[in-house]
Structures are given as C-alpha cells and as structure tokens.
Amino acid sequence: MVSDMGVCYLLGYPVGHSMSAVMHNAAFRELSLEHRYELLPVRPGDLASVVSGRMRDPDVLGANVTIPHKVAVLGLLDWVEPEASRIGAVNTLVNDGGVLKGHNTDGMGAMRALLEAHEELRGSRVLLLGAGGAARAIGYHLTKNVEALIIANRTLQRAVELAEDLSSNTECVASVEACSLTTGDLKTALKEADILINTTSVGMAPHVDESPICADLLSPGLLVFDAVYNPMRTKLLRDAEEAGARTLGGLRMLVYQGAAAFELWTGLRAPEALMLRHVEEHLGGGGS
C-alpha cells in the first residue's frame, strides 16, 4: 500500500543535469498524488550509508539510481529482481516497509525506444559504446535479439569483462566481442554495424560540444542512438544527421524507464505522454 505522502530520490553524482524530477513530479501532480521527487547527489564513498539509512525511512517510496552507482548499489540491497541480478546493475529501488528491493528498468526502456525506431532487431549488428550500468542493461537485452554485439570502452578490460558476462547468459543468441575506443577499432566495427548506441556520459550537459566518436566514422544507413538526453540533440546526433544517418535521442528511454519505476513505486499506470511533454518543454521543445 502506497503512503499518502512519500518521497522518491535520484541517487547519483552528479545529478544536476537530470530531468527525472521534472517528469516524476509532473506525473504525481497529474494523478493527484502528494508525493515528491528529489535529486540527491551522493558521492561514491557515501552510497552505503545513504542506502542503509535514508532510503529505508518510512516516508521513502524508493529511488532511481544513476551514474556512478548502478553496479555498486547491487550489493547493498535486501533483494534484487532476478533479471537485474543477471544484468549486474540496478537503476530502481523500492522501499517495501524498510526492505530495499532492486530492479532494472533501463534495458526495457531502451528496447522500447529502439524498437520504435528500428522495428526489427533480429539480424542486426550493434556497436555499443561504454561498459557501465546502462551498457550492462541494454547489452543484456540486445544479446537476446541481435546477431552481433561489439562493446567498445575507454578501458578495454571492462569491455572484455562485460562481453564475457553477456556471453555467459543462457538467453544470449548473439556473438559478443570487445574492442577499444581507438579510431582504427571503431572504424572496423562500424563497417558492419547497423546500429551505434552510446551509453557513456560524453556529450552530456554541460559538455555539449563533446562526442564519443569522430564524425567522419559515421555514415548513411546507420541508426545512431544516444542514451544522453540533455541536450536532446547531442553533438553525436548532430554529427550523425550531417552524415545522413538516422538518429534516436535518449528522451524516450528516459521516460519509458522512468514510467516503469513510477509504476513500481505507486502501483499506478504512469502518464507517459505527459512526462515526455514536460521534459521536452523543460529542455526547450522540439522532441527527441
């Protein structure tokens, strides 16, 4: 039973760029819920004390978890949803009477957005940039659907470890490999790729003139999906458009993963269209 008045948090560091409070507070108002959503910057060294303390208070419904805590929070919870455990990352906490439960809505949110843009993933070859919590969630779902997945990361060993983890999942039907972020490796990987997905924070506000990949590596026929949503049109997406590639911003992934978290906290269907509209308006309009 959801309390009459509760609070939800976003745990991360930093959190100032986030639009989660905008969309969740709009959803609470729309459904006449006296809840509130707050951004809570948590340094890595403080995560354990926040999870063991504040997150278990009776007025706390739960939290979203973002960079850099999605993997680290896993070992601090009382129960973890089996899929989130297989992914190895959590982005949503539910406080069930002081018992903290972990879920992952990132992967399904990304897949919904991706399928709206690409429709059919079977047979696709994907280059995934990053090896953090979002990459784990998205990669887990991709390997159940695509033909090939290449993971590129600044620290190659992390990409190798993630590739091994994803390959070991019994539901994996894809070939999974790792490569570095060097121009040569990326050029080779993109020759056969149908989809490029960025899960790193490169290009996120305020660093809006940065991109995780050189513009001259992009080409027509590629779908470029940037999980960064602030700004809505990142440099990666602008470069992709100029190269003739199709683009997908991170806004719908944000809303879809947020809506799933909202439903876990409240038991009510989230007003997705309203949440999307409020974030778009706050970021300056124009869609994703």
Q: What is the pLDDT of residues 60-69, one digit of tens each?
A: 999 999 999 9
Q: How many other C-beta atoms lie within 10 A of the C-beta of residue 215?
A: 13
| Residue 198 falls inside a structural domain | yes
- Position 108 scores a pLDDT of 96
CA angle 34, 102, 52 (to 5 degrees): 80
pLDDT for 33-58, tens place per residue?
999 999 999 999 999 999 999 999 99
Whether residue 194 is contained in a domain is answered as: yes
What's the CA gap between 232 and 229, in Å, rounded? Answer: 5
157 with 236, same domain? yes
d(CA 29, CA 181): 44
Task: Answer for the pair 205, 18: CB distance below 8 angstroms, yes or no.
Answer: no
Is residue 238, in this structure, part of any structural domain at all?
yes
**CATH for 54:** 3.40.50.10860
Whether 1 maps to a domain, the answer reads: no
Question: Is residue 2 in some structural domain?
Answer: no
Measured distance CA(82)–CA(57) in Å, rounded: 25
Q: Tell me, yes or no, whether 32 and 93 share the same domain.
A: yes
Reported for 232-238, long-range contacts at CB under 8 A and 24+ positions apart, including other chains, are 232/280, 232/283, 232/284, 232/286, 232/287, 232/288, 233/286, 234/198, 234/203, 234/204, 234/208, 235/203, 235/208, 235/209, 235/210, 235/211, 236/198, 236/202, 236/203, 236/211, 236/212
pLDDT for 155 beyond 80: yes
- 43 and 22 housed in the same domain: yes
Interval 83-116: pLDDT, tens: 999 999 999 999 999 999 999 999 999 999 999 9
Q: Is it the case that residue 2 has pLDDT exceeding 70?
A: no
Catalytic residue among 70, 187, 191, 235: 70
Same-domain status, 113 and 234: yes
Judgement on whether residues 82 and 171 belong to the same structural domain of the protein? no
Is 29 part of a structural domain of the chain? yes
Tokens of 216: 């001259």
User: Is 238 in the same domain as 272?
Assistant: no
142 with 197, same domain: the answer is yes
Contact call for residues 202 and 210 (beta carbons, < 8 A): yes
Same domain for 86 and 24: yes
Per-residue pLDDT, 1:
41
Confidence (pTM):
0.94
Q: Which domain holds residue 72?
A: 7-104+252-283
Say if 62 falls within a structural domain: yes
Residues 70 and 201 in one domain: no
Total domains in the chain come to 2
- Asked if 135 and 162 count as a contact pair (C-beta separation under 8 A), the reply is yes
Orientation angle between helical segments 251-266 and 272-283, nearest 10 degrees? 130
pLDDT value of position 288: 34
Q: Is 235 a catalytic residue?
A: no
**Confidence at residue 285, expressed as pLDDT on a 0 to 100 scale:** 55
Q: Do 44 and 120 fall into the same domain? A: no
161-165 mean pLDDT:
98
pLDDT for the residue numbered 163: 98
CATH number at residue 173: 3.40.50.720
Give 4's pLDDT tier (boundaries 50, 70, 90). Answer: confident
97 token code pair: 């009477």
Say if residue 264 is in the same domain as residue 241.
no
Coil, helix or strand at residue 65: strand
Residue 279 lies in a domain: yes
Tally Cβ neighbours within 10 Å of residue 266.
19
| Mean pLDDT value of segment 64-86 | 96
Q: Tens digits of per-residue pLDDT, 193-251?
A: 999 999 999 999 999 999 999 999 999 999 999 999 999 999 999 999 999 999 999 99
pLDDT at 3: 55
Same-domain status, 222 and 138: yes
pLDDT on residue 84: 97
Average pLDDT of every residue of the chain: 95
